[in-house]
Amino acid sequence: MGRLDGQVAVVTGASRGIGRATAIKLAGAGARVVVNYLSNKTAAEDVVRAIQGMGGEALAIQANVGIFEEAQKLIQSTLDHFGRLDILVNNAGTTRDALLVRMSEEDWDVVINTNLKGPFNCTKAAQRTMIKQRYGRIVNISSIAGVAGNAGQANYSAAKAGLIGFTKAVAKEVGSRNITVNAIAPGYIPTDLSATIPPELVAKGMELTPLGHPGDTEDIANAVLFFVSEEGRYVTGQVLAVDGGLTM
């Protein structure tokens, strides 16, 4: 028996990187998984095939989570197909890096909309079902940028810091309904999203990281699994830095 047998999980931005690893990890623990994606249908279907190849059940659903109606449709489609929703992982994110002096209003808006409004949209859409069934596990993927700030990422840092505040507020609102809400703040994890970080900044970050090396997507997926499984049932409103010690 898997730790998550009978449960249904939605992972946003699950076609690649941390989202992909998380979707596969949850499926491996027995959950039926909705693989949300924005534009890369081929990659999302590849994740579904990987899960099916393990004997799991998965479904790819396209939605721009930054638009409330699409987030609602994502959650409703999940309920229509699987009949329930137990786990929501708000992972979808994007970057538009620039020093503030050069950052356009659009660069600001796009990042805030995806990285902060997206979790609001999906959580609001999902919580009615979770409240009714008196059970839910919500995990928000923040960043060390939201804890310590990153030069050249005022928009991303603001969104990820906002997500930490959002996590704590919602955890207080829904705790009495047996719903936990936690956040993970990854350090440097090589993915398509982090590929734009200049090599010299990565090298500097590794110098400041006590463990001395980058993490990988599996490290984040393992942390998600802890929060959503029985072992994490008494943990809520927390921010777990999975960063090799960088921000301690």
Active-site positions? 156
Between CA 248 and CA 239 the distance in angstroms is 12
Which amino acid is located at 66 in the chain?
G
Instruction: From 35, 5, 12, select the one nearest 140 (Cα to Cα).
Output: 12
Between CA 37 and CA 29 the distance in angstroms is 21
Alpha carbon 73 to chain centroid, angstroms: 18
Residue 73 falls in which region: left (phi positive, over 0), alpha (psi -120 to 50) or beta:
alpha
DSSP 143-183: -HHHHH--TTBHHHHHHHHHHHHHHHHHHHHHGGGTEEEEE
Between CA 28 and CA 219 the distance in angstroms is 15
Helix (H, G, I), strand (E, B) or coil at 202: helix
Between CA 107 and CA 19 the distance in angstroms is 23
Tokens 């921000």 appear where? 247
DSSP-assigned beta bridge partners for residue 179: 136
